[in-house]
Structure formats: C-alpha cells, structure tokens
Amino acid sequence: MGKKREISGAGERSLTFARARWKHWSRYFGAFVIAMLNVSLVMSTIQIHMNQPFPDIDRELLSFAFVLFFDLTVLLPIILEVDRVVVTPDTIVFKTLFWTSKVPWPEIVSFKNPLVLTFAIVRTPRCFYLINKKDIRPLDELLETIQFKLARSRE
C-alpha cells in the first residue's frame, strides 16, 4: 500500500505506513493454521491417552517440540508484526493483527534495525513490535522518521 499524509483538525500532520491488504489477510490465515495445529496436537494426545495405557513419551515430546518450534518461529512474529504504523508529532500508533497500540515517543525504550533480520524492532515498556522491512513501503522514510522522532524526544 504505501504512505498517506493526513492532516487532523488541529493541523497536525500524521504519516501512515501500511502493507498490502492481501498480505495482512494472509497473516490471519497463518495464525489460524498454527492455532489449529496446537489444538489438533492436544486433541490427538488426549485420544492416544484414552486408547493406549502406556503411550510413547518420546514421540509426544518430539511432537510438542515441533509445535513449540512453529509457535516461536511463525506464530509469534505473525502476532507481533505491525500491519500499519501511524506517525504523529506526539505518538506512534502500531496496528498489529489483533490490537492497536498508541505509544508516546518518550515511552519507546529502543529501536533497532539489524541488517541481517527481515524485521526492524521497536521496543516499548509493555511489548515489542516487528516492522517487516519487505512489506511496509516506503520503508526508508519510516525508519528515518522513527529515528528522528526518537532523537528529538530524548533531547
């Protein structure tokens, strides 16, 4: 999608950076698939315990490790990834898959943009947010704006 400039009634400018809608809806599908994987694993474990008096613990632990791996590597980034970022003079608004958070600039603990990761990371006292470098355009302007606003709020 791209950037939109909006001017509020008070004359404040806000910049909106968002990803394409189809990418946003595909995240809902991914979260649903991973959630169903968790439910099906628990239900199959219950079914095995009902039918077999002594199930194979090694296989159960391996399957739980497999699902935990997918939860940490797929579900966690899906939940914490930002869909839309609205930058205003006083706050930054993060819209994720399931909630919206309005954070004043002084409350941002850190901002990191590692070259080797697909995500830029914004950490607040309550949570951290992942900005996907491949999805949100124009990314360079968003990252420069965040760095500039953070430097100004810390002066």
- Give per-10-residue mean pLDDT for the chain (155 aa): 55 83 92 93 88 83 91 92 93 95 94 92 94 90 92 84
pLDDT at residue number 1: 53
pLDDT at residue number 59: 84
Within this chain, do residues 46 and 93 fall inside the same structural domain, yes or no? no
Query: Could you give the 3-state DSSP secondary structure of residue 84?
Result: strand
pLDDT at residue number 2: 59
Q: Please tell me the total number of residues recorded for the chain in this structure.
A: 155
Within this chain, do residues 42 and 97 fall inside the same structural domain, yes or no? no
pTM, entire model: 0.82
Within this chain, do residues 105 and 138 fall inside the same structural domain, yes or no? yes
Q: Which two tokens stand for residue 29?
A: 């599908």
pLDDT at residue number 48: 86
Q: Which domain holds residue 105?
A: 2-19+80-153
Within this chain, do residues 139 and 95 fall inside the same structural domain, yes or no? yes
Q: 35 Cβ partners below 8 Å, 6+ apart?
A: 75
Q: Please give the span between the terminal C-alpha atoms of the chain, in angstroms, as a whole number.
A: 33
Within this chain, do residues 145 and 84 fall inside the same structural domain, yes or no? yes
Within this chain, do residues 103 and 88 fall inside the same structural domain, yes or no? yes
Within this chain, do residues 50 and 88 fall inside the same structural domain, yes or no? no
Q: Which two tokens stand for residue 44?
A: 């199959």
